[in-house]
Structure 1
Amino acid sequence: MPPLVFSRWHLSTAPALLTWILLLNIGNGNACKRGVPRLRLSYKDLLRSNSSRLLLGSGDGLAFQSFLVDETRAWLMVGAKNHIFLLHLDRPNEEPQKVFWPARKEQVERCRLAGKNAETECANFIRLLQPFNRSHVFACGTGSYQPICAFVQLGARAQEPGGSPIQLVANSVESGRGKCPFSPHEPFTGLLIDGELYSGTSSDFMGSSAAFFRTRVHKAAQNYIRTEQNQDHWLNEPVFIGAYLIPDTHNAHDDKVYVFLRETALEAGQWERRRIHARVARVCKNDVGGKRGLINRWSTFLKARLVCSIPGPQASETHFDQLEDVFLLRTRDPQSPLVFGLFTVSSGIFSGSAVCVYSMAAVRAAFSGPFAHKEGADYRWVEYKGRIPYPRPGTCPSETYDPLLHSTKDFPDDLISFMRNHQLMWGPVYPLGRKPILVRVNVPYRLRQLLVDRVETESGHYDVLFLGTDEGKVLKVGLTGGRGQDSEEISLEEISVSKVLSPILDMQFSPKRQELFVSSTHGLVQLSLYRCELYGKDCTDCCLARDPYCTWDGKGCSPYRLTEKRRARCQDALKADPVSQCQDTTAGEDR
């Protein structure tokens, strides 16, 4: 009998097929337990619930793509097509203030002649709103494929009735190249820190070249630092998702900006198909560029792979590599936030979405590990085992590590030479528990937006995920019992926030107001974080809902506040036991 021979296709595909079957079981078999939401509301149902309000209608396809929330002064700034709106949240019936900021007519005409759509592309779509100081906001728009930026002045007492309206500071208008994308459809990120804008965006009309920049926003001189051009090992067809300033030590000179993106992976191997990998990259905040080959280039730029996968049989893994959104959950330790990543996967076998959570300890461990390196006759990627220059590549110049280094321009020549060719770390970053906390496969939607709220309850903290879909729905999912083997997922709500099917473009929190702002091409909706009264009219229904925002107060299912004086209530989202809990509340009423 001849030996069994397996083709390359069988060897690579069989484990994937088995994993796919497991994923379908996750997506379907447990649907009755955790996939079916406690509440499912259509758009009409939502309006009748009195827990939402349409803040702005779609109008002329305004495409509300950027938000800025000021909780202290209770206003919401919204960027749209040719407009910036300012809404006063404490005065819901007041007409919003607005700035009309169109692209120049000649640029609109050039955009049309280049073959772009006159309605959906040839306009000034406001993509960036960042606070500059108490009186000004820095704003950038696509400018009909010629990006422009300017300051928006809030005006004296703009938050008060009768206060001065917002206005565009005309003499502040400047080029937005390297600060804002050319296209209204391109994902990008922008973060303003101490008058400097960190931005990941395309740098040309065609969108064929993208980089991570830092530019000064209020200086006449356009000083900048960026990733190297035309060097695929720095960045290869990147799509930028988010950027955050995270301190590494108690010394501010060690602060780093962490950037989240996805890109085409060079290290996937020449025999593999084109692969997308999710990345976390970082630069030192005090990086002023290097010398010689790194003038006006980052001298501390490093990147590592973010892994979000489901282990399968025979040591196979199903990877969710298409990073869609990132949320940073701040903790009591400013150096140790949790990173929530939303990923998707699409193949000929299946499509789906997943959420993974990463600790900063795991991220820093990857950047402290070995570097990746190309060598050998076939020039393949391997672990670098040569001499590492001093100071270690990626180290910020500060007295924490070397009191003699005052600037990145003081880095020695061997370090500069090393940093020109060694951006990639060898070891990836794995999530907590080495698996996703949420998986959705074999469903009619894709997840696109992610927000996380940590709710403190009497029985501990409880993370609530708000997920925006490409069908105009918001999913509310609770996570209890930590992120280990005993974690539990509770699907609480599925809400349609638009009359027609359209992707959720952006979502922002107002934790102080317990509200969520959700935008699509068809409008901007203000949504309460809870709809307690819809869970039912008795204690049992309220308790079984296991919504951390809600509790039975003796008369009805009502919003829960940890600071309230304890009355008769049941509120234990971690373990619902309506028999004992509702008996306790009855006893409380009798007392």
Structure 2
Amino acid sequence: MLISVTSTAPRPVLRAYEAEVHCSLLPLLLLSTDFKTLKADIFSFICLTELLETRTIRPFSFSFNTSDYRILHMDQDQGRLYLGSREYLVSLDMQNINKEPLIIHWPATSQRKGECRMTGKGGQGECANFVRLIEPWNRTHLYTCGTGAYKPVCTFINRGWKAEEYLFRLVPGYVDSGKGKCPYDPRQENAAVLINGNLYAGVHVDFMGTDPAIFRTLGDRPAVRTEQYDSRWLNEPVFVKIQKIPDSAEKNDDKLYFFFREKSLDAAGGSTPSVLARVGRVCLNDDGGQRSLVNKWTTFLKARLVCSVIGAEGVETYFDELRDVFIQRTHDERNPTVYAVFSTAGSVFKGSAVCVYSMADIRNVFNGPFSHKHGHNYQWTPYTGKIPYPRPGTCPGGTFTPGLHTTKAFSDEAINFVRAHPLMYHPIYPTHKRPLVVRTGVDYRFTTIAVDMVDAVDGRYEVLFLGTDRGTVQKVIVLPKDTSTTEDMLNLTTFICAPVKTLKISTKRQQLYVSSQRGLTQVSLHRCAVYGKACSDCCLARDPYCAWDGETCSAFTPATKRRSRRQDIKHGDPLRQCRGFNSKGMETVQFGVEGSSTFLECQPRSPQATVKWLYQKDSKRKAVRFLPLCLREFLPSHPEVHQ
């Protein structure tokens, strides 16, 4: 039976048969998502062998006994990727992660492991050194910390001046306490950043994991932290991200923003969610108070991040469990774009979402009213009393306090106010008051995010890479419509058989790096060969990384001067773009059993393609009409299909 297949794509709406997906090796899954229905349809597959043959994917894993791979630092200048895992530190070549990896074995001592097991720990292998921090100290050294079998430790790594030296070793004889820098329990998340020799970390600082804090250690400034055992400041938080973001041209206004989720103070018996997403901030030059809040932050404030959708019946569903945050730089360093991944807190309704926030909206909330409660049984209300000077959250020596050069000069009234009122009254809503991406009714949740801004022929596009707890990475291309209020999403998924822990994009080398419990995968951002060898397939893919060059679907760069480069991301119109590049339809021979049903299978290269089946009779060579995908009864008397 000869089958001729043609495909067209006037709109990105696909309805293909459902398929059950099993996690094996690294198959790729293409999805098409209708934003209005918020439901993903499984469409077609790209096999691992194709990606390996085109050298667009490289898996990496140890032969050693280790796990829990995390990408902790990426050095674009030296071209090295630094991994932390259970008892190992790894330096990889970013161009080829399998090329001469540099490895340091950094285990906890046998004595320490024994002491850890004596405390009742270690039932799940926690009595080991899990590397949780790698930060650049200077041009030649890195600062690293690990859990140390429930006794955090830190040290320095000598990496040399240049990558060509292939130098990667621990500084002998130097071991520092990791308390306040790294968690004791490897199951507890932490976030940290090293700025001008000062380490800022969101971490649990005790063995039992009951004392969470935002800590500043190292450097020449005094060590400071959040108020201890005060649930108004932090209430069982899970730290996600820490980032320095300037507030103005005045360096004294620089602030540290930290993103986390925490247990709600009002969750018991009420309508308030049990978990809330937060963004907090402190001034980098905060040195604590003089008489009150000594060695504590005096500029600590926090606000709620809202990410929600309104259902068909007007019921608002909140995604409150903040999972990951990506800060996308812009031409203005003071106004990066904040992408945040959320999931639902409960087990009844399972879903995930991506919301985007502007720094202008975040600052407006921090400049707004403070939350206030008259008593335990009262509701939160905006504080209407007198705000002390300087306004809580203001940095010393900054734009609004040029005469106050240190937080120790702040009035007792200002410090006592911020201690009792760390929460802002208004929440922070996302751009357009709705999520950018939503997934509901699926058996996975988003865990991580990385974003790339890609220049194409017809504009600049956001490309989101979203890791999931099922070991997949979805590639989401945001396509603005004329209304500028909705987006279409095209998704590409790769399986790595374990929950995705970290994602990193190298724009310089055009590579995506994905880590999980089991290993690391390097994926080229330009996977153009998998779209086939036809201009129409390349155009229908609507991938800003790829374009038709007259012969093949190949990597697109804005600097390309060849006129024959065909690309249409916004519309994906092959009729307009591929004139003069006629391609022959694919023919396949398919056999069926007489009297039984026969399913005619076709898996297009593009997620935007729709499949139309045509047949022709022997008597009428050019007569064609549409066929269903399934022939209910396959008979020899069917001249249309039997030859």
Shift of residue 86, structure 1, vs aligned partner = 1.3
Mean CA deviation greater in 437-446 or 575-584: 575-584
Structure 2 counterparts to residues 317-466 of structure 1, below 5 A = 317-376=316-375, 378-466=377-465
Instruction: Give the counterpart letter for 1:60 in structure 2.
Output: N
Partner-residue secondary structure (3-state), 1:547: coil
Cα separation, 1, equivalents of 2:311 and 2:39:
22
Cα separation, 2, equivalents of 1:468 and 1:543:
26
Instruction: Give the counterpart letter for 2:60 in structure 1.
Output: L
Compared CA separation, residues 371 and 257, structure 1 to 2 (3 A): same
Instruction: Give the counterpart letter for 1:132 in structure 2.
Output: W
Aligned-residue Cα RMSD (Å) equals 2.5
Mean CA deviation greater in 547-556 or 52-61: 52-61
1:195 paired residue number = 197
Compared CA separation, residues 41 and 126, structure 1 to 2 (3 A): farther
Instruction: Give the counterpart letter for 1:293 in structure 2.
Output: S
CA deviation digits over 1:520-573, x for unaligned, max 9?
122111111131111121111111110110100100111110011133022221
- Give the gaps of 5 or more residues in structure 2: 1-31, 583-643
1:211 paired residue number = 213
Cα separation, 2, equivalents of 1:215 and 1:548:
43
Cα separation, 2, equivalents of 1:65 and 1:528:
19
Cα separation, 1, equivalents of 2:530 and 2:180:
48
Shift of residue 115, structure 1, vs aligned partner = 2.7
Note if 1:84 corresponds to 2:86: no
Cα separation, 2, equivalents of 1:406 and 1:214:
19
Instruction: Give the counterpart letter for 2:178 in structure 1.
Output: G
Cα separation, 2, equivalents of 1:581 and 1:435:
34
Mean CA deviation greater in 193-202 or 401-410: 401-410
CA deviation digits over 1:291-347, x for unaligned, max 9?
222100000000000000002467531000000000001111111111000000043
2:552 paired residue number = 556
For residue 536 of structure 2, the aligned residue among 514, 519, 540 is 540
Say whether the 8 Å CA contact 1:476–1:494 is kept in structure 2: yes
Instruction: Give the counterpart letter for 2:86 in structure 1.
Output: K
Note if 1:139 corresponds to 2:169: no
Note if 1:169 corresponds to 2:163: no
Structure 2 counterparts to residues 491-530 of structure 1, below 5 A = 491-496=490-495, 498=496, 501-530=497-526
Shift of residue 211, structure 1, vs aligned partner = 0.9
Cα separation, 1, equivalents of 2:482 and 2:435:
9
Shift of residue 58, structure 1, vs aligned partner = 6.2
Note if 1:101 corresponds to 2:106: yes
1:70 paired residue number = 75
1:111 paired residue number = 116
Instruction: Give the counterpart letter for 1:551 in structure 2.
Output: A
Instruction: Give the counterpart letter for 2:179 in structure 1.
Output: R
1:10 paired residue number = none
Shift of residue 105, structure 1, vs aligned partner = 1.8
Compared CA separation, residues 273 and 201, structure 1 to 2 (3 A): same
Instruction: Give the counterpart letter for 2:561 in structure 1.
Output: K
Mean CA deviation greater in 147-156 or 260-269: 260-269
Compared CA separation, residues 273 and 306, structure 1 to 2 (3 A): closer
Partner-residue secondary structure (3-state), 1:243: strand
Q: Which has the higher helix share?
A: 1
Instruction: Give the counterpart letter for 2:520 in structure 1.
Output: L
Instruction: Give the counterpart letter for 2:140 in structure 1.
Output: S
1:568 paired residue number = 564
- Give the gaps of 5 or more residues in structure 1: 1-26, 587-591
TM-score by length of 1: 0.88
Instruction: Give the counterpart letter for 1:530 in structure 2.
Output: H
Compared CA separation, residues 414 and 391, structure 1 to 2 (3 A): same
Shift of residue 177, structure 1, vs aligned partner = 0.8
Cα separation, 1, equivalents of 2:436 and 2:35:
14
Compared CA separation, residues 443 and 92, structure 1 to 2 (3 A): closer
Say whether the 8 Å CA contact 1:39–1:492 is kept in structure 2: no
Cα separation, 1, equivalents of 2:562 and 2:340:
36
Cα separation, 2, equivalents of 1:208 and 1:523:
31
2:185 paired residue number = 183
Partner-residue secondary structure (3-state), 2:462: strand
TM-score by length of 2: 0.81
Question: Identity rate of aligned residues, in percent?
Answer: 44
Note if 1:40 corresponds to 2:42: no
Compared CA separation, residues 377 and 112, structure 1 to 2 (3 A): closer
Compared CA separation, residues 358 and 585, structure 1 to 2 (3 A): farther
CA deviation digits over 1:186-226, x for unaligned, max 9?
22100110001110011111212211111115x7xx94110
CA deviation digits over 1:125-167, x for unaligned, max 9?
111111111101111101011111111111354x11xx25211
Compared CA separation, residues 293 and 94, structure 1 to 2 (3 A): same
Compared CA separation, residues 464 and 399, structure 1 to 2 (3 A): closer
CA deviation digits over 1:433-490, x for unaligned, max 9?
1010100111121111111111112221100110111111111110021797543232
Compared CA separation, residues 404 and 120, structure 1 to 2 (3 A): same
Compared CA separation, residues 232 and 169, structure 1 to 2 (3 A): same
Mean CA deviation greater in 423-432 or 563-572: 563-572
Say whether the 8 Å CA contact 1:150–1:168 is kept in structure 2: yes
1:297 paired residue number = 296
Instruction: Give the counterpart letter for 2:572 in structure 1.
Output: A
Instruction: Give the counterpart letter for 2:353 in structure 1.
Output: A
Instruction: Give the counterpart letter for 2:579 in structure 1.
Output: Q
Cα separation, 2, equivalents of 1:423 and 1:346:
24
Partner-residue secondary structure (3-state), 2:373: strand
CA deviation digits over 1:469-524, x for unaligned, max 9?
1111111110021797543232231111x3xx311121111111010111112211
Instruction: Give the counterpart letter for 2:212 in structure 1.
Output: A
Compared CA separation, residues 461 and 410, structure 1 to 2 (3 A): same
Partner-residue secondary structure (3-state), 2:111: helix
1:476 paired residue number = 475
Say whether the 8 Å CA contact 1:256–1:284 is kept in structure 2: yes
Instruction: Give the counterpart letter for 1:290 in structure 2.
Output: G
Cα separation, 2, equivalents of 1:223 and 1:577:
61
Compared CA separation, residues 120 and 336, structure 1 to 2 (3 A): same
Shift of residue 93, structure 1, vs aligned partner = 5.7
Compared CA separation, residues 101 and 33, structure 1 to 2 (3 A): closer
Cα separation, 2, equivalents of 1:350 and 1:92:
39
CA deviation digits over 1:408-450, x for unaligned, max 9?
1111111011011110000000000101010011112111111
Compared CA separation, residues 267 and 423, structure 1 to 2 (3 A): farther
Instruction: Give the counterpart letter for 1:187 in structure 2.
Output: E
Cα separation, 1, equivalents of 2:461 and 2:186:
36
Say whether the 8 Å CA contact 1:256–1:282 is kept in structure 2: yes
Higher radius of gyration, 1 or 2:
2
Instruction: Give the counterpart letter for 2:403 in structure 1.
Output: L
Partner-residue secondary structure (3-state), 1:150: strand
Mean CA deviation greater in 412-421 or 103-112: 103-112
CA deviation digits over 1:375-420, x for unaligned, max 9?
0583432211110011111011124113211111111111011011
1:467 paired residue number = 466
Note if 1:229 corresponds to 2:228: yes
Cα separation, 1, equivalents of 2:456 and 2:33:
31
Cα separation, 2, equivalents of 1:319 and 1:483:
28
Cα separation, 2, equivalents of 1:576 and 1:30:
18
Cα separation, 1, equivalents of 2:189 and 2:41:
31
